[in-house]
């Protein structure tokens, strides 16, 4: 089945006597059990039918065997870290989501885990950072906010030859555009708060895996730590997911139009997007992904002007996050990446990030244009 069809055609109500056409919200914490019977569900922390359906839908989209929905993207990342043991070493990308950086720097040492931040676009840097105890390589590609591209296939090979796992945080692109498991990754992580739910109304996370041992471990961690996604959030996530293709295709088209506008703008100094031929990772990205995503980062070399854009745009809401229906603008240095010390950041304070929504492209361009010129900078 083509995935356009798959998004909306699935059994929405396995076993429900009333055959509702939309998955019911099983807003219950417990299920009656039969002693000695085959009780698929007994307690919602361990399993809930609404959650099962959204997990199965996301597993299909990522071509994984199983998915596990968590209360947030950070809970999903923490579950993946939970696969490791005291003394293990992690190689993580050096341009990660700020919250991931915080988890890795501030929560791992007390658990006896070690992390090295490495430019994962550079395979010789990876080779140098590898230790016998490296058990996990964790990347984002494109990375955030600089949109650096790492080779999923090459990193999977490096990880596997060192008895380590490759985990890809695929939040930026969604499985509509990139499917890391097909390229050799062992684990895919999502913040479902972004594209998967798509409406900015739910906080969620997902881990997708395709090997029996990882499936068993993730199920155990989800139940033992009590970090699973609640029924209502699962229901919202499932509802949002049905329009993933429509949203992403529309948002990507508009993103391309806005990139063209910015390319011709005298105040824009450097644009970061794998859509641009001069991006060092453009060719690699085109091989491993079907599109360029819905985010654009750019510099103005003028912090006051960048701040003016943030303050004066009207359609672009000043907000962290991305992958929502409405367009957002942010200054990562002050917002999503503020928890990373400025000397550890590899981007400048004037970097602006746009997340493109489903509005009319010309309206968005007009909004940027008036914000660029509304004062005398």
368: nearest Cα among 339, 337, 327? 327
Q: Which is nearer to ligand PLP, 254 or 336 (CB)?
A: 336
Nearer to ligand PLP, 95 or 367 (CB): 95
Listing DSSP states for 98-109 in one string gives HHHHHHHHHSSG
At its nearest, how many Å lie between ligand PLP and the CB of residue 320?
8
| Cβ atoms of 375 and 307 closer than 8 Å | no
Question: CA 202, CA 212: separation in Å to the nearest integer?
Answer: 29
Told to check if 171 binds ligand PLP by CB under 6 A, we report: yes
Q: Identify the residue among 50, 72, 297, 299 touching ligand PLP (CB under 6 A).
A: 72
**Nearest residue (CB) to ligand PLP, 70 versus 372:** 70
Q: Which of 45, 65, 153, 307 is catalytic?
A: 45
Beta strands in the chain (DSSP E): 66-70, 89-93, 114-118, 134-140, 165-169, 187-191, 205-209, 270-272, 295-299, 317-318, 328-330, 352-355
Single out the catalytic residue among 60, 148, 194, 250: 194
Q: 169 catalytic, yes or no? A: yes
Give the C-alpha separation, 129 to 143, whole Å: 19
Annotation marks residue 45 as catalytic: yes
- The mark string for 297-326 relative to ligand PLP (x by CB under 6 A, - otherwise) is ------------------------------
Q: For residues 282 and 276, is the Cβ–Cβ distance under 8 A?
A: yes
**Closest CB to ligand PLP belongs to which residue?**
73
Query: Of residues 169, 186, 350, 367, which has the active-site annotation?
Result: 169
Assess whether 111 carries a catalytic annotation.
no
Q: Which two tokens stand for residue 313?
A: 């745009």
Q: Which is nearer to ligand PLP, 130 or 181 (CB)?
A: 181
Residue with tokens 């299920």: 31
Q: State yes or no: residue 24 binds ligand PLP (CB under 6 A).
A: no
CA distance 39 to 9: 26
Rounded CA-CA distance 234/222 in Å is 14
327 contacts ligand PLP (rule: CB under 6 A): no
The DSSP 8-state label assigned to residue 229 in this structure reads P
Q: Cα(61)–Cα(17) distance, rounded to whole angstroms?
A: 28
Provide the mask over 179-218, with x wherever binding to ligand PLP is found by CB under 6 A and - wherever it is not: ------------x-xx--------x-x-------------
Question: Segment 94-113, which members bind ligand PLP (CB under 6 A)?
Answer: 97, 99-100
List the catalytic residue out of 97, 135, 250, 367: 97
Stretch that binds ligand PLP, among 29-37, 40-48, 70-78, 178-186 (CB under 6 A): 70-78
Given CA atoms 137, 210, 183, 357 in this order, what sign does their dihedral have? Answer: negative
Q: Which residues are catalytic?
A: 45, 97, 169, 194
Residues at the site binding ligand PLP, with contacts judged by CB under 6 A: 72-74, 97, 99-100, 140, 144, 169, 171-172, 191, 193-194, 203, 205
């Amino acid at each position: 089945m083509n995935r356009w069809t798959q998004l909306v055609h699935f059994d929405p109500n396995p076993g429900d006597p009333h055959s509702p056409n939309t998955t019911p919200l099983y807003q219950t914490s417990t299920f009656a059990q039969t002693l000695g019977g085959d009780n698929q569900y007994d307690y919602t922390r361990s399993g809930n039918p609404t959650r099962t359906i959204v997990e199965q839908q996301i597993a299909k989209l990522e071509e994984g065997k199983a998915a596990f929905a968590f209360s947030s993207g950070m809970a999903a990342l923490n579950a993946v870290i939970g696969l490791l043991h005291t003394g293990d070493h992690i190689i993580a990308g050096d341009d990660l989501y700020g919250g991931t950086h915080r988890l890795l720097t501030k929560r791992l040492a007390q658990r006896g885990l070690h992390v090295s931040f490495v430019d994962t676009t550079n395979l010789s840097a990876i080779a140098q950072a590898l230790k016998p105890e490296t058990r996990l390589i964790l990347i984002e590609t494109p990375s955030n906010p600089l949109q650096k591209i790492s080779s999923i296939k090459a990193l999977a090979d490096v990880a596997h030859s060192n008895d380590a796992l490759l985990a890809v945080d695929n939040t930026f692109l969604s499985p509509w555009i990139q499917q890391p498991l097909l390229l050799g990754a062992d684990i895919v992580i999502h913040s479902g708060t972004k594209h998967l739910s798509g409406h900015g109304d739910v906080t969620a996370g997902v881990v997708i895996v395709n090997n029996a041992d990882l499936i068993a471990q993730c199920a155990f961690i989800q139940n033992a730590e009590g970090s699973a996604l609640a029924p209502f959030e699962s229901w919202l996530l499932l509802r949002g997911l049905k329009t993933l293709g429509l949203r992403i295709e529309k948002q990507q088209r508009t993103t391309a139009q806005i990139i063209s506008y910015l390319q011709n703008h005298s105040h824009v100094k450097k644009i970061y997007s794998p859509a641009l031929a001069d991006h060092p990772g453009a060719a690699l990205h085109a091989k491993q992904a079907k599109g360029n995503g819905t985010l654009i980062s750019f510099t103005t070399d003028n912090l006051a002007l960048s701040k003016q854009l943030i303050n004066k745009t009207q359609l672009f809401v000043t907000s962290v996050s991305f992958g929502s229906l409405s367009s957002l603008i942010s200054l990562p240095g002050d917002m999503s990446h503020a928890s990373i010390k400025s000397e550890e950041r590899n981007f400048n304070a004037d970097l602006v990030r746009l997340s493109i929504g489903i509005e009319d492209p010309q309206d968005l361009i007009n909004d940027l244009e008036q914000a660029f010129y509304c004062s005398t900078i």
